[in-house]
Amino acid sequence: MPKRQDIHKILVIGSGPIIIGQAAEFDYSGTQACLALREEGYEVVLVNSNPATIMTDTEIADRVYIEPLTVEFVSQILRKELPDAILPTIGGQIGLNLAMKLSNTGILDELGIELLGTKLTAIDQAEDRELFKNLMQKLHEPVPESAIANNIEEAQQFADKIGFPVIIRPAFTMGGTGGGIANNEKELAEIAENGLNLSPVTQVLVERSIAGYKEVEFEVMRDAADSAIVVCNMENFDPVGVHTGDSMVFAP
């Protein structure tokens, strides 16, 4: 793919603190992205809330902002730097969520800033539980019976319909944060309330539990020409039902 000559300054969004579901690999990938962009002659501005990273070294980007990764602070940086584009995808879940929020405020359109990498529609479709479920059904891919809930009552109604146990999956959270397996109404109320509070869109997916199934993952890369390649296939040591952060993964 030829170099973009219409872009000169790029704001890279870092991944913030190292936590389960968003660990040091994002610091490494972000560092490599900054170095690669500078090598191509682009001016790189980095914003990250975590100073204990490689990417916040002064030699990695042209300018580094160690500020909270919130709409308020990043909007101020955007107005000051006026980049041609932002790159949020190497910022993990935090970067993706922040890109969605910035777009919703209208500041990207106001300042004429382009979003590089994954499109907003694709981010929304992957992170919004209802949109993702609808996409899988459209593609005729098998998915467990499920329902979207925006409050505890809706979650309880669906659980009563299909029976326990059920899995609660909040939308737009990192590494399954706020989710869990509910075996009764008391656990359902606790997990659903926590998940709804942690979800930026106050949404959880309640689905029939498939705990005990073998868990296999595939990492797929797709480019702008819609070409795709499987770069890694993995098998979890523990079955579905055990959080990935508490398990081991074998690759390949």
Domains of the chain: 9-124 (3.40.50.20), 128-208 (3.30.1490.20), 216-250 (no CATH)
Of residues 107, 119, 65, the one with CA closest to residue 82: 107
Nearest to 55 by CA among 92, 9, 2: 92
Amino acid type, 50: N
* Cα-based distances in Å from 110 to 7, 46, 82, 100: 17, 21, 11, 15
Mean pLDDT score of the chain = 89
Question: In 10 A of CB 108, how many CB atoms?
Answer: 19
- Helices 185-198, 152-162: axis angle to 10 degrees equals 140
Q: How confident is the model at residue 230 (pLDDT cuts 50, 70, 90)?
A: very high
| Residue 16 C-beta-side C-alpha neighbours within 13 Å | 20
Alpha-carbon distance of 102 to 12, in angstroms, equals: 14
Rounded CA separation 89/100 (Å) = 11
Q: Using alpha carbons, select from 33, 12, 6, 10 the residue that is nearest to residue 83.
A: 10
Question: 200 falls in which pLDDT band (50, 70, 90)?
Answer: confident
Q: Kindly report which listed range (7-11, 58-62, 79-83) carries the lowest average pLDDT score.
A: 58-62
Q: Is the pLDDT of residue 244 over 80?
A: no
* Residue 11: count of CB within 10 angstroms of its CB: 25
Are 152 and 165 in contact by the 8 Å Cβ rule? The answer is no
Residue corresponding to tokens 């809930």: 149
Could you tell me the sign of the dihedral formed by the alpha carbons of 75, 49, 22, 30, in that order? positive
pLDDT band (50, 70, 90) for residue 237: very high
Strands 204-208 and 166-170, bridge-based pairing: antiparallel
Which range, 19-23, 50-54, 56-60, 72-76, has the best average confidence (pLDDT)? 72-76
At residue 194 the predicted structure's pLDDT band, cuts being 50, 70 and 90, is: very high
Over 124-150, what HEC string results? HHHHCHHHHHHHHHHCCCCCCCEEEEC
Q: Which of 24-28, 33-37, 106-110, 137-141 has the lowest mean pLDDT?
A: 24-28
CA angle, residues 159, 162, 167, in degrees to nearest 5: 55
Q: Would you say residue 19 has pLDDT above 80?
A: no
Question: What amino acid occupies position 118?
Answer: T
pLDDT at 24 over 80: no
Alpha-carbon span 56 to 22, nearest angstrom: 17
Given this model, what pLDDT does residue 20 score? 65
- Cα–Cα distance measured from residue 160 to residue 198, given in angstroms and rounded to the nearest whole number: 24
- C-beta neighbour count of 121 within 10 angstroms: 9
Measured distance CA(195)–CA(45) in Å, rounded: 34
